[in-house]
Amino acid sequence: MSKIVVIGSCSVDFTTYAPRLPNPGETLIGTKFTTSYGGKGANQCVAAAKLGGNSFMICRLGLDQWGEKYKKNFDQLGVDTTYVALTPDVTTGIAQISVADNGENQIVIVPGANSYLSKDDVKNAEQLITNADILIGQLETPLETTLEAFKLNKGIKLLNAAPARRGIEEILPYCTILCVNEPEAALLTNTEVSLKNAVAVLKKLLETGCESVIITLGPDGAVYMSKHDQEPIHIICDKVTPVDTTGAGDAFVGAFATYLVTHKDKPMHQIIGAACHVASLSVTKEGTQTSYPSKFDAFKRVYKYEKL
């Protein structure tokens, strides 16, 4: 069975819900508070596992009450935790999230143990990383650690360059697939992103050395282009009424990775369309990992796309 390996972050999400997001310096009365499990790496790994992917997580948690609970959460969801390390004298990463009635959110992250994910962790999991069918990384843990893992892997290397940051040029030539949203693509190319100029932005990103690029566009679907197939496409997704958009990008990445290795016979627009569909479903429910569908067959339908 194909191995989906995620090296990245875990955090506990403390989420407040309110009619709207607060302005700077403003205090609002919220409607609800929840505690759940998040972090971009963990979300992507869980999204893959819930869809039936053979998922492995390489990460660091704090040796505290949240670290122990998080590891149990992974186990319950079918994620392999062989390389999930509990780190003494440091807290598990946390995220403070505010969600408005229209689904918009604001997030503040305190990395905690995520900052301790190191090349030693890569060395400990060297065999797994080297032979993974797809290796997924993000930017919530030290870049040098993810780079070391990407150098080892012999399969597909998927980088979700989030949260947005500059100074990642060294890792991009090792990427089989670069996945970014509009703000992340804009930061990497110094260009505002829209459907009208998507081709120019895709070409700029391909010039960084990665083999192919996906830019997710929220309700407008996604655009894709590869060095091996210079014809860019726009994948169209259904419109939904969002309840909570937190973790939607992670749902996309986890679903895309899973379908890429489990549905190799499908064309790329179908794989991306199916991942968009999973992400769309996730925003219709509250929470991150709890909003991801389980064992969902997204290939019962044909997804629309257009050439750019």
Write out the two tokens for 193: 């992103």
Does 40 show up as a binding residue in the annotation?
yes
- The yes-or-no answer on residue 250 being catalytic is yes
Does 250 show up as a binding residue in the annotation?
yes
Does 140 show up as a binding residue in the annotation?
yes
Does 43 show up as a binding residue in the annotation?
yes
**Whole-angstrom Cα distance, residue 67 to residue 305?**
42
Does 101 show up as a binding residue in the annotation?
no
Does 25 show up as a binding residue in the annotation?
no
Are the C-beta atoms of residues 33 and 97 closer than 8 Å to each other? no
Which residue in the list 75, 238, 250, 265 is annotated as catalytic? 250
Does 39 show up as a binding residue in the annotation?
yes
Does 294 show up as a binding residue in the annotation?
no
Report whether the peptide linkage leading into residue 173 is cis, meaning its omega lies within 30 degrees of zero: no
Does 11 show up as a binding residue in the annotation?
yes
Write out the two tokens for 275: 């991942």
**Whole-angstrom Cα distance, residue 205 to residue 13?**
32
Does 31 show up as a binding residue in the annotation?
no
- Sheet containing 94-100: order of strands: 32-38, 11-18, 94-100, 105-110
Does 220 show up as a binding residue in the annotation?
yes
Q: Where are the beta strands (DSSP E) in the chain?
A: 3-7, 11-18, 32-38, 54-62, 80-87, 94-100, 105-110, 134-137, 156-160, 177-181, 212-216, 222-226, 233-235, 305-307
**Which is it for the CA torsion 141, 44, 53, 69, positive or negative?**
positive
Does 285 show up as a binding residue in the annotation?
yes
Three-state DSSP at 163 gives coil
Can you say which residues are annotated as belonging to the binding site for K(+)? 244, 246, 282, 285, 287, 291
Where in the sequence numbering do the catalytic residues fall? 250
Can you say which residues are annotated as belonging to the binding site for ATP? 181, 216-221, 249-250
Can you say which residues are annotated as belonging to the binding site? 11-13, 39-43, 140, 181, 216-221, 244, 246, 249-250, 282, 285, 287, 291
Can you say which residues are annotated as belonging to the binding site for substrate? 11-13, 39-43, 140, 250
